[in-house]
Amino acid sequence: MKSIHLVAPSGASLDEKSPLAGIAWLEGQGFSIHNPQCVHRVHERFAGSDEERLRELNEISSLDPQSVVMAMRGGYGIHRLLQNIDWSSISKAVDHGLQICGHSDFTAFELGLLAKTGAMSLSGPMLNFDFGRMDEGGVAVTPDTFMWKHFLYAIQEHKLDCTISAAQSFLGENTSQSITGILWGGNLTVLASLIGTSYLPSSKQTQGGILFLEDVNEHPYRLERTLMQLLDAGVLAGQAAVLLGGFSAYRLYDNDKGYTLERAVEAIRQRLPQSIPIITDLPFGHQSNKLTLPVGAEATLDYNSTSFTLKSNW
């Protein structure tokens, strides 16, 4: 498998160099890149009009099933398209081997696909940041080796296997346990926006699941508020475990007076049933060292107070 088909269903690229650097790096690894022209589209803040972006998403159902579809970047835009996506045809393509990868705003597509059809997708790297990130001097940054290793392992071997050493402070009543359930989740803000719609996987689909969450540019109080929404909507209480990835690019203020992300997680821990562990430091999110996670696949989580292991084979 050496073919990546690009799609740009959300925001337009913030600069011209990032997508071109990402394409060049992937080509240097022997991958054939298809539909590169999508990275140049701009309509208002979006990577093309709604019609262009919808058509591009629906056309992936006719691709060579050995292709990997990769989103250019996140931002916002997929919510506009959800009601007109041909979920059934895309699901059939996935059944025949098509792999679809992205994160951030792409969470809306991945959860919609799972909710509507049960089909699996990959929450993982995207073109611009992960393969074409630029430093302050405008020079391309070499992609993270951890990210690249796990991306290749996912698309080539259809496996996830990662052990993380990190002290765990929010486990609840069980300080050591093995859990098996459906792995699902993505961007916290996007996931919460789907509550009450047909694009959020049902409680029946996700009961006893392993929910992973990440976000960017959100102050801890906003994260706490959104997690409280998931808690009050019954989403968190239906899980066997909650995995927290990166929550990056926010700043604290003087009036926080000691309130931090850890205090926000503590507030959720106090209300969440003690039988449901909250695991922190999952390498995933708007950060260079990210896993590629199979959304909708069965996974096993083994954890204790100092580390955790996440495995899946699909």
Which residues are tagged catalytic? 104, 214, 286
Strand order from edge to edge, sheet including 99-102: 32-34, 3-7, 68-71, 99-102, 121-123, 293-295
- What is the identity of the amino acid at 299? A
Residues in contact with 175: Cβ distance below 8 Å, sequence separation at least 6, in sequence order: 304, 305
Strand pairing class (278-279; 307-313): unpaired
Q: How far apart are the C-alpha atoms of 47 and 252, rounded to whole Å?
A: 32
What proportions of the chain, in percent to the nearest 5, are helix, strand and coil?
40, 25, 40
Phi-psi region of 63 (alpha: psi -120 to 50; beta: other; left: phi over 0): beta
Cβ 258 vs Cβ 221: under 8 Å: no
User: Residues of 125-145 as b/e, b for ≥16 C-beta within 10 angstroms?
Assistant: bbbbbbbbbeeeeeebbebbe
**Would you state the structure tokens that stand for residue 85, as one six-digit string?**
């996506």
Neighbours of 35 (CB within 10 A): 18
Q: How far apart are the C-alpha atoms of 213 and 226, rounded to whole Å?
A: 11
Residue among 204, 27, 257, 34 at smallest CA distance from 132: 27
Segment holding 92, helix H or strand E? helix 87-95
